[in-house]
Structure 1
Amino acid sequence: MGLTEDEDVRAMLRGSRLCKIRSRTWQKERLYRLQEDGLSVWFQRRIPRAPSQHIFFVQHIEAVREGHQSEGLRRFGGAFEPSRCLTIAFKGRRKNLDLAAPTAEEAQRWVRGLAKLRARLDAMSQRDTHTWIHFYLHRADSNQDSKMSFKEIKNLLRMVNVDMNDMYAYSLFKECDRSNNEWLEGPEIEEFLQRLLKRPELEEIFHRYSGEDRVLSTPELLEFLEDQGEDGATLAHAQQLIHTYELNETAKQHELMTLDGFMMYLLSPEGGCPEPAHTCVFQDMNQPLAHYFISSSHNTYLTDSQIGGPSSTEAYVRAFAQGCRCVELDCWEGPGGEPVIYHGHTLTSKILFRDVIQAVRDHAFTLSPYPVILSLENHCGLEQQAAMARHLHTILGDMLVTQLLDSQNPEELPSPEQLKGRVLVKGKRLPAARNEDGRILSDREEDNEDEDEERGGGGPRAEAAGERAWLGQSPRSCRPLAVYCWASRLRTPAPCPQPRPQPCQVSSLSERKAKKLIREAGNSFIRHNACQLTRVYPLGLRMNSANYNPQEMWNSGCQLVALNFQTPGYEMDLNAGRFLINGQCGYVLKPACLRQRDTTFDPECPGPPRTTFTIQVLTAQQLPKLNAEKPNSIVDPLVRIEIHGVPADCACKETNCVPNNGFNPRWGQTLQFQLRAPELVLVRFVVEDYDATSPNDFVGQFTLPLSSLKQGYRHIHLLSKDGASLSPATLFVHICIQRS
């Protein structure tokens, strides 16, 4: 990794005995040691497990926190000084690793060392694959003599996911065996690896433009860029690329690009699939909140099922780390006058309301500066409602929005830019809906009662207009809390734009009711969502915390499409893809057809095709095994391209499979799609194993809006089902988007 001279990394290579903390009684000392690959950490286990269960990968780390900054260490780490403690938080569903080092300096070595390793991984180009291949080379060298027999070479090939024909593998082996002694060592091993890592598909592209001299001049590179569809490509830009990516100093001085420099460019972030400009905040952030899709979570406090799973403040921290901007708090009466959060009437564990608000204060704006919405489901009496209001005021302080902004247009919501660093409360104002017993109904209960009425099972509800719901006005401080997000019922939107929109009203709908409105009120629902916020949440019948397809709701302009972030699947892949752009800030500007109050757009009738999307699937590199516990298992990969958009655009096409090769499979197949509403389309690239038994059992995937796909020859970094990077696994494609 180029960090072996770093003292922190060298200390990690030697290893440390760290105390792993799970509870007040379960605190065990374990040996943790960085592997020689610089990519993984081995740790000791009392009970022998499969080798893969004794390591974790640096690329799967989401954050490293110092001190008592996790729920586990705050509760169970009191016996250890904060300076000796650290928490390793992982992407996906893996639990935090809470650790205490023998000394503060040793804890700091791990904090600093992991930060350096993560930064180095982020900076690695795809040409830095020698680190990856040398890791497997070291493992395949069974007697560690730095020499490779043909048997060991075959073992290496299986490790890197390729089942090469014995005759071909042996001929390649013999070509590199210059000493003719049936061993590869030193330069012979490097030559074998160079041949293994050869990228003929990239060489073909290079030779097409470089001519007989096998180097690209500046005009030839410019021609390639123009053919790629690069907007504003100039000779100056071509010269800048040569000076950035060319490795040969002589070629660089003569403004020439060799094959190595060309590959460096193609496999750099500039040669990646997303538009580089879209990885930062690039959209107009000064429009009303209702003009944005807003990343939203449902039952945010849960880490597993809705019946008996644990609740945790860490779930909020993870949601914020994924760019979430709207989180849900189900508030119930707790002991000692302190409200708690959990999934009511179930066996899920309880956490304190005030602890969640502290997590919001500490973590809500780590990734994104744009506003956070707290969607409160209030089941508390007046006394504990007052405690909730007190905690919101005292913990959040000036972060909490308690009055209208001076510069606000009364007919529209403020913008994300105006609300940077602020927290909004979504809840009820006067009059509050009540059930027959007089208890205030939460948004979700109210929506369910509406559905009961639709089925003929609802009874009359009493409404007490004279008694204040606390979110309209705090019982203690008399300061309003639900300033911009007043919860209100939505039955059927008006068929035309309202003369006086109510921008501060927010409707919460179950997925069933939202689908009914989409089906029955189409364009009217879109016009409603052009002015006001709508939150959609999963049906209560989804006991295993499964998700619905969010694309249907986005097609109709719903902003707060809430999903169970703890549940991986294609639905969360789509959500991650939708919010991958615009700096992953959690706000994405809706297409113009969903922002206009008088729009005529209807997702059910989007009109004739306007765009042709063509993708040529070329190759993949270094795909992981589906079953790492079976050393002889080899992937038979195929690529599936999914189009998610309005119903008329939704489609799926796939390539043939390449048998027994996950290392460098080649397809060269072209897939084409006709699109009617391209501005709403998400493209999901999925690499599957032909023998997989489940759609969720894929090798890797990547999802991105069509509008952010960069045309031309592009590489795509694949992600796991938990959203973690599978680097160096990549897909190489050619993309063409033609608009009529």
Structure 2
Amino acid sequence: MDIFHPLAGVQTEASLEIMKAGSILRKAKSQIWRHRHYKLQEDCKTIAYKSSWALNSYSTCDVEAVREGHQSEVFLSMAGEFPPERCFTLVFHGRRGNLDLVAESAEEAQAWIQGMRILIDNLENMDKREKLDQWVSDLFIKADKNRDGRISFKEARRLLKLMNMDMNEDHAWLLFRRADKSKTGMLEGDEFILFYKMLTERTEILELFQDYSSDGETLSHCDLEEFLREEQLEGERSHEHALELIEQYEPSDTGKTCHIMSIDGFLMYLTSVEGSIYNTDYKHLYQDMTQPLNHYFISSSHNTYLLEDQLKGRSSVEAYIQALKRGCRCLEIDCWDGSNGEPVVYHGHTLTSKIFFKDVVTTVAKYAFKVSEYPVILSIENQCSIEQQKVMAQILKDTFGDMLLKTTIDGKVPHELPSPEELKGKILLKGKKIGGLECLEVDSPVSVEVSDEDEAAETLKSSPTAESWPSESKVGKPKSKQNISKEFSDLIIYFKKVPFRGFEHASSHSKPYEISSFSESKARKYIKEAGCDFVQYNTRLLSRVYPSGLRTDSSNFCPQEMWNVGCQTVALNFQTAGIEMDLNDGLFSQNNRCGYVLKPDILRNRERCFNPERPQDCKDFCPLNLTIQVISGQQLPKISKKEGSIVDPFVRVEIYGVPLDQTKQETKYIENNGFNPCWSEILEFVVHTPELALVRFVVEDYDKASKNDFIGQYTLPFSCIQTGYRHIHLLSKDGTSICPSSLFVHIKITEVTEVPRAS
């Protein structure tokens, strides 16, 4: 791997050399400090460290970010012990905990900080081809057990197991001999690459290539144009696009000059971002961002401060950083009285750890607009005394400064909510408020009604173990009335929290800046009893739905049924991987991942009466046929760590949307082949409300004796699907890439010829 970074120059090389020489760094964990020798290996891919009992290592590609100074709970709690210039934190992908380290000098800390950032940047800037080369290089290193830079046939057989492939020994030996050009019985450098290419030969793509090739060897400009027009359904754009693809993906200069594409260029195109199932037009900011806030789905988090469960789990500012990096725009902060007059954040009346409110606010201020410039909403569960509410208000104003919205954008009481565009770069608070937005002169605290849907109250009512948790000495149990300080109340502008008193009452009395919260069970009840009314409610007002207090493991509910009626802020536990977060990531993967997605017209138009239970009643009802040919899979990851274990993969396609669209189908499983399984099966669906549908591709390892094991998934909005021959680049449970794992499919979307109508 090329470790030179053009912007870093000599400083980069010096940093990496210091890392390679090794450093004595102190690890902070549970208040106990350990000295360890950390050293970057020569390949710049691995950092080894020696503990008192063993030599360990971790891959640099496992590190997501490096944070400088005191930016973790450990360092914040021990801020006086070590100067920030000697401290740094390594943040790992997935749910692995952070690594807090202290160098012996500020210069040494900077070397590790700058060096790690360069290594991370190099990995992030790799294209698909470079990542594949990296993967192949790593395979070679794993297979080369005796580290002599060569691969024997015995090592090659072991490699096939590592690659999730159970190949006939005679066939493996035949390929090995073909690749062994030097006739030494060993594979070196280019010979190993040749062996790998023979293993990964894509016969299904070669056949497709030859179907459109005039001479059987290349695709002329006209051949490629025909493929784009007939298979990828590109129409008039196909002529210019064919030339662009040859210029971009054909590796041969001769091919570019002659406007022809080789099989290598064709494969590079099909495995590129352009060849993926996701239409890149929708990955950019393509939606109208000038409509009222209640016309958008807003990526929202529940109990954002938690990294684990909501009974005994760890609270962390890291959880806010991760949520914001994921595009979340509505964060929850549960505030309680702390000692020494400092408000704290944690899950009240439980054993979850506590973090300071000021640290949360400081973190949000730093990371709020790194991923998206559109507004961040802080949903404040305010359980503090009047004194500490005043402290909270001052912290918010001092830390956020001009970012904090302190008045309506035009100084007037709004008739409708402002747009995301008008609120760019602003932080808004959601919480209980004294009175409305009209000028209200109040000098003393005022009691405000606590909603039946107040989250803290709901959690305590629901939790079977609530009585066993220690009580708060100052706060006590939630009451039906709570005193709110004017200082805090004045900071609530467009998100005044109010109890829900029914759809009829809301239509005649509710103000556009008011918002009600619903537990998942209450929301389901209203959806079932008055789905149309809920849709109409959400065309005018904002609603928030949150998980039941009984979900003590911080599991999630399916957000789709709430989106079906237009609920904007459907709050999920971002720290808990699973189908629910896959759907959330899928919905918000569009529109530049800005955290705001414009709801379809059927959920915004007040003149319409959309009923998700009966979409066929809509006058412009237009269901679509979705036909998916699941062709093959590529380099699926191993599930078991046992060397001889190989997966038996199958693919399931799941549709999420209105009740009529909730369905799934799956292929047969392929025995002992996770490397290049071939299914060639067709799955067919009718999607009745395409504008609300999400499609989830799941790969699992079949097991007839127990539950199937998850291998990978990919979820996207139906509206963002590209037709034709496409690759699906799979993601892990945590939503991170597992390159080079992919599926190869053919997608066809057509109108349903006979449309069923309401009787």
Q: TM-score, normalised by structure 1?
A: 0.90
1:450–1:571 CA distance, 2 compared to 1 (3 A): closer
Matched, 1:62 2:64: yes
Counterpart residue identity of residue 398, structure 1: D
Q: Name the structure 2 match of 1:247.
A: 251
Counterpart residue identity of residue 25, structure 2: L
After superposition, give the CA deviation of every residue in 1:556-612 in whole Å (9 maximum; x if it has no partner). 100110111111111111111111111111111111111112322111111176111
CA distance in 2, matches of 1:42, 1:203: 43
Q: Name the structure 2 match of 1:115.
A: 117
Secondary structure at the aligned position of 2:516 is classed as strand
Shift of 1:29: 2.1
Matched, 1:18 2:21: no
Q: Name the structure 1 match of 2:91.
A: 89
Counterpart residue identity of residue 74, structure 1: L
Matched, 1:127 2:129: yes
- Larger mean CA deviation between 322-331 and 141-150 belongs to 141-150
- Larger mean CA deviation between 364-373 and 92-101 belongs to 92-101
Matched, 1:517 2:497: no
- Residue pair 1:377, 1:444 contacting (<8 A) in 2 also: no
Q: Name the structure 1 match of 2:428.
A: 424
- Residue pair 1:637, 1:657 contacting (<8 A) in 2 also: yes
Counterpart residue identity of residue 533, structure 1: L
Q: Name the structure 2 match of 1:139.
A: 142
Q: Name the structure 2 match of 1:272.
A: 276
- Larger mean CA deviation between 285-294 and 307-316 belongs to 307-316
Q: Name the structure 2 match of 1:220.
A: 223
Counterpart residue identity of residue 158, structure 1: K
Shift of 1:514: 0.2
- Residue pair 2:38, 2:47 contacting (<8 A) in 1 also: no
CA distance in 1, matches of 2:160, 2:599: 47
Work out which of the residue numbers 75, 98, 101 in structure 2 matches 1:99.
101
Matched, 1:680 2:692: yes
Shift of 1:213: 4.9
Q: Name the structure 2 match of 1:469.
A: 484
Secondary structure at the aligned position of 1:392 is classed as helix
CA distance in 2, matches of 1:335, 1:231: 67
Q: Name the structure 1 match of 2:572.
A: 563
- Residue pair 1:293, 1:558 contacting (<8 A) in 2 also: yes
CA distance in 2, matches of 1:449, 1:147: 63
Q: Name the structure 2 match of 1:549.
A: 558
- Residue pair 2:450, 2:499 contacting (<8 A) in 1 also: no
Counterpart residue identity of residue 2, structure 2: G
Secondary structure at the aligned position of 1:698 is classed as strand
Secondary structure at the aligned position of 2:576 is classed as coil
CA distance in 1, matches of 2:457, 2:587: 29
Q: Name the structure 2 match of 1:702.
A: 714
1:345–1:522 CA distance, 2 compared to 1 (3 A): same
After superposition, give the CA deviation of every residue in 1:455-486 in whole Å (9 maximum; x if it has no partner). xxxxxx9987xx9733xx327xxx72111001
Shift of 1:517: 0.5
Matched, 1:236 2:240: yes
Work out which of the residue numbers 171, 174, 179 in structure 1 matches 2:177.
174
- Residue pair 1:411, 1:501 contacting (<8 A) in 2 also: no
Q: TM-score, normalised by structure 2?
A: 0.88
Q: Name the structure 1 match of 2:202.
A: 199
1:179–1:112 CA distance, 2 compared to 1 (3 A): same
CA distance in 1, matches of 2:624, 2:24: 59
After superposition, give the CA deviation of every residue in 1:671-703 in whole Å (9 maximum; x if it has no partner). 111011111111111111112877683111111
Q: Name the structure 1 match of 2:296.
A: 292
Identity %, equivalent residues: 48
Work out which of the residue numbers 260, 279, 289 in structure 1 matches 2:264.
260
Q: Name the structure 2 match of 1:458.
A: none
Shift of 1:181: 5.0
Q: Name the structure 2 match of 1:435.
A: none
After superposition, give the CA deviation of every residue in 1:300-326 in whole Å (9 maximum; x if it has no partner). 111111111121222111111111111
- Residue pair 2:47, 2:60 contacting (<8 A) in 1 also: yes
- Residue pair 1:411, 1:500 contacting (<8 A) in 2 also: no
After superposition, give the CA deviation of every residue in 1:140-166 in whole Å (9 maximum; x if it has no partner). 222223332221110111111111111
How many correspondences in the alignment? 714
CA distance in 1, matches of 2:233, 2:349: 57
CA distance in 1, matches of 2:666, 2:316: 40
Counterpart residue identity of residue 485, structure 1: F
Map residues 289-438 of structure 1 onto 2, 5 A cutoff: 289-406=293-410, 410-430=414-434
Secondary structure at the aligned position of 2:570 is classed as strand
Matched, 1:29 2:24: no
Shift of 1:631: 1.5
Counterpart residue identity of residue 493, structure 2: V
Secondary structure at the aligned position of 1:157 is classed as helix
Secondary structure at the aligned position of 2:308 is classed as coil
- Residue pair 2:60, 2:120 contacting (<8 A) in 1 also: no
- Larger mean CA deviation between 288-297 and 185-194 belongs to 185-194
1:57–1:3 CA distance, 2 compared to 1 (3 A): closer
- Residue pair 2:214, 2:220 contacting (<8 A) in 1 also: no
Map residues 450-599 of structure 1 onto 2, 5 A cutoff: 469-470=484-485, 473-474=486-487, 480-494=490-504, 498=507, 502-599=511-608
CA distance in 2, matches of 1:57, 1:683: 33
- Larger mean CA deviation between 222-231 and 302-311 belongs to 222-231
- Residue pair 2:519, 2:546 contacting (<8 A) in 1 also: yes
Secondary structure at the aligned position of 1:643 is classed as strand
Shift of 1:613: 1.0
Map residues 641-660 of structure 1 onto 2, 5 A cutoff: 641-660=653-672
CA distance in 2, matches of 1:682, 1:556: 15
Secondary structure at the aligned position of 2:318 is classed as helix
Counterpart residue identity of residue 586, structure 1: G
Q: Name the structure 2 match of 1:729.
A: 741
After superposition, give the CA deviation of every residue in 1:520-545 in whole Å (9 maximum; x if it has no partner). 11011011111111000111111111
Q: Name the structure 1 match of 2:640.
A: 627
- Residue pair 2:572, 2:581 contacting (<8 A) in 1 also: yes
CA distance in 2, matches of 1:683, 1:664: 23
- Residue pair 2:348, 2:456 contacting (<8 A) in 1 also: no
Shift of 1:256: 1.5
Q: CA RMSD of the aligned region, Å?
A: 2.9
After superposition, give the CA deviation of every residue in 1:193-239 in whole Å (9 maximum; x if it has no partner). 22112222222222121221522222222222222023651423221
CA distance in 2, matches of 1:167, 1:262: 31
4+ runs deviating over 6 angstroms: 449-453, 461-464, 692-696
- Residue pair 1:639, 1:654 contacting (<8 A) in 2 also: yes
Shift of 1:77: 5.8
Shift of 1:449: 7.4
- Larger mean CA deviation between 143-152 and 360-369 belongs to 143-152
- Residue pair 2:26, 2:102 contacting (<8 A) in 1 also: yes
CA distance in 1, matches of 2:287, 2:176: 53
Secondary structure at the aligned position of 2:322 is classed as helix
CA distance in 1, matches of 2:613, 2:730: 32
CA distance in 2, matches of 1:611, 1:285: 28
CA distance in 1, matches of 2:479, 2:16: 67
Work out which of the residue numbers 569, 590, 610 in structure 1 matches 2:623.
610
Secondary structure at the aligned position of 1:135 is classed as helix
Secondary structure at the aligned position of 2:138 is classed as helix
CA distance in 2, matches of 1:136, 1:404: 58
Counterpart residue identity of residue 265, structure 1: Y
Shift of 1:258: 1.4
Shift of 1:79: 4.5
Counterpart residue identity of residue 38, structure 2: L
- Residue pair 2:459, 2:549 contacting (<8 A) in 1 also: no
After superposition, give the CA deviation of every residue in 1:602-655 in whole Å (9 maximum; x if it has no partner). 111111761111111112111111123x11111111111111111110111111
Gaps of 5+ in 2: 6-11, 437-446, 463-477, 753-759
